Amino acid sequence: MRFRLVVFFFLIFFSSCHKGFSQSKIDVIKFEDLQKIMNQPNDTTLIVHFWATWCKPCVEELPIFEKISQEYLQKKVKVLFISMDFPKDVATKVPSFLKSTNINSNVLLLDEPDYNSWIDVIDKDWSGTIPATLILNTNMRKRKFYEGPVKAMSFLEDLKTMLPSSVEN
Amino acid sequence: MKNFKVNIIKSVVVFSVISLCSFIRISDNKGYAIGDTVSDFRLKSVEGKMVSMSENRASKGYIIIFTCNHCPFSRAYEGRIIALDKKYANQGYPVLAINPNDPSAYEEDSFENMKAVAKSKGYSFNYMQDENQDVARAFGATRTPSAYIVKREGDRFTMQYIGAIDDNSQDANGVTKHYIEDALNNLLSGKPVVTNFTKTVGCAIKWKGV
């Protein structure tokens, strides 16, 4: 009995060490796949966030989107973390980065190296610099695009105007 | 009443001038457009000499590439930039590589490390530091690598191509569109460049004091 108790406390102790479980397997997608997700008629507001582990301003900004992803989960907001890392890093560099920075959201790696063929499809004003972020609500026909790091306060204000009408702000 | 009208006209004029100024400033930030005259610059190369566009009288123009040491995209292109210089320098279009990054943000991009990379990779072209970042600003470069082609027209240089080197940053063997080469081949056969603007992803240039 006493042994069981010790084991139990051990388990509790170790599980409290983990803040969450970061993703170890990252799916590689093509632009076509991303477009399918983006074009789906949906009540949920999508935040499509382009970033990479090699991009310093992206890495600095990522915790903001991780926080939004957790806090707006109940408000029908889904953050898509689209990594622009090279596919060769999909099983190594990217998951170890997510683990070390406690990013628990789902990350997809976009393998579409002919950037010129799809940058304009995301937004005509996008020069290609990351981080870049798109807020999208297909049902409300609303979209807003940001190149470079967002200003957290005004981004959240914008997001609030794009929440599904069924959600109370 | 007349005074009131004059005041309105005055405010409209002032307002238009202000908005025009801000418009001009915005377009300035975007850098050169195709066909624009490109101002000459003088930058220090890893060999310690000052390099400008005008001094090489034999050149028909230049392939100007903003690149650096730390960025994985730039690294993926090192070999291809060397190959471009080998192929086009003797046809009149040598490469000028410019590192615009603030070295205090990326130690790898310091002048000493630029020298080391140029030596170990055997750069055949000038690799220069844009210490004040003025050249990158004038070009409207925002990330590395960013490629441009300028053509000599008498005493001036004009912008002919802005964008990516090719359509596959990750894998040189997977390239299907050789943007820079195609543009140069157009120019060398006396034709206008067919695809003169492309977009790409790269590492954001780290500006000083930002």
Does A4 fall in a domain? no
Q: Report the top-level CATH class of B32-204.
A: alpha beta
Collapsed DSSP state (helix, strand, coil) of residue B29:
helix
Domain count, chain A: 1
Q: How confident is the model at residue A11 (pLDDT cuts 50, 70, 90)?
A: very low
Residue boundaries of the structural domains of chain B: 1-30, 32-204
- Tell me how crowded residue A10 is: count the other CB atoms within 10 A of its CB: 10
Does A57 fall in a domain? yes
Mutation target for A interface from B69, B201, B205, B206: give the one with most A CBs within 10 A. B201
Does A115 fall in a domain? yes
ipTM comes to 0.79
Residues of A in contact with B164 (CB under 8 A): 115-116
A/B interface, count of CB pairs below 8 Å: 61
What is the pLDDT averaged over residues A138-155? 93
Does A167 fall in a domain? no
Instruction: Measure CB to CB from residue A115 to each of B164, B176, B203 and give the nearest one.
Output: B164
User: Which pairing describes strands A27-29 and A107-110: parallel, antiparallel, or unpaired?
Assistant: parallel
Does A15 fall in a domain? no
In B, minimum Cα distance to A58 occurs at: B204
Collapsed DSSP state (helix, strand, coil) of residue B200:
coil
**Tens digit of each residue's pLDDT (9 = 90 or more) over A63-99:** 999 999 999 988 999 999 999 999 999 999 999 999 9
User: What CATH number did the domain enclosing A83 receive?
Assistant: 3.40.30.10
Q: How far is A148 from chain B (nearest CA, A)?
A: 9
Q: How confident is the model at residue A158 (pLDDT cuts 50, 70, 90)?
A: very high
What is the pLDDT averaged over residues A131-153? 94
Percent of chain A with pLDDT over 70: 85
Of A57, A37, A83, A47, the C-alpha closest to A155 is A47
Q: Which domain holds residue A90?
A: 23-161
Residues of A in contact with B76 (CB under 8 A): 86
Q: How far is A168 from chain B (nearest CA, A)?
A: 37
Collapsed DSSP state (helix, strand, coil) of residue B192:
coil
Residues of A in contact with B206 (CB under 8 A): 56
With vertex at residue B63, the alpha carbon angle to CA B120 and CA B108, rounded to the nearest 5 degrees, is: 35
Q: Is B142 on the interface with A (CB under 8 A)?
A: yes
In sequence order, which residues have a C-beta less than 8 Å from that of residue B80 and are 6 or more positions away?
A: B165, B166, B172
What is the SS3 string spanning A114-149? CHHHCHHHHCCCCCCCCCEEEEEECCCCEEEEEECC
Of A39, A44, A37, A52, the C-alpha closest to A115 is A52
Per-residue pLDDT at B8 = 58
Structure tokens at B67: 């690149």
| Residues of chain B scoring pLDDT < 50 | 17-28
- Tell me how crowded residue B182 is: count the other CB atoms within 10 A of its CB: 15
Structure tokens at B93: 């279009």
In B, minimum Cα distance to A111 occurs at: B170
**Tens digit of each residue's pLDDT (9 = 90 or more) over B93-128:** 999 999 999 999 999 999 999 999 999 999 999 999
DSSP symbols for chain A: -HHHHHHHHHHHHHHHH-S----SS-EEE-HHHHHHHHHS--SSEEEEEEE-TT-HHHHHHHHHHHHHHHHTGGGTEEEEEEE-S-GGGTTTHHHHHHHHTT--S-EEEE----GGGTHHHH-TT--S-SSEEEEEETTTTEEEEEESS--HHHHHHHHHHTS-TTS--
Mutation target for A interface from B199, B205, B206, B210: give the one with most A CBs within 10 A. B199
In A, minimum Cα distance to B30 occurs at: A127
Whether residue A12 has pLDDT greater than 70: no
CA distance A39 to B138: 38
CA distance B21 to B19: 5
> With an 8 Å Cβ cutoff, are A55 and B204 in contact?
yes
Does A17 fall in a domain? no
Whether residue A160 has pLDDT greater than 50: yes
- Tell me how crowded residue B162 is: count the other CB atoms within 10 A of its CB: 22
> With an 8 Å Cβ cutoff, are B176 and A114 in contact?
yes
Q: In what helix (H) or strand (E) does residue B28 lie, and over which residues does it extend?
A: helix B2-29
Q: Is B163 on the interface with A (CB under 8 A)?
A: yes
Is residue A27 a contact partner of residue A109, using CB atoms and an 8 Å limit?
Answer: yes
Residues of B in contact with A130 (CB under 8 A): 201, 204
Q: Is B155 on the interface with A (CB under 8 A)?
A: no
> Residue B189 to residues A9, A139, B58, B112: CA-CA distances in angstroms?
78, 51, 18, 40
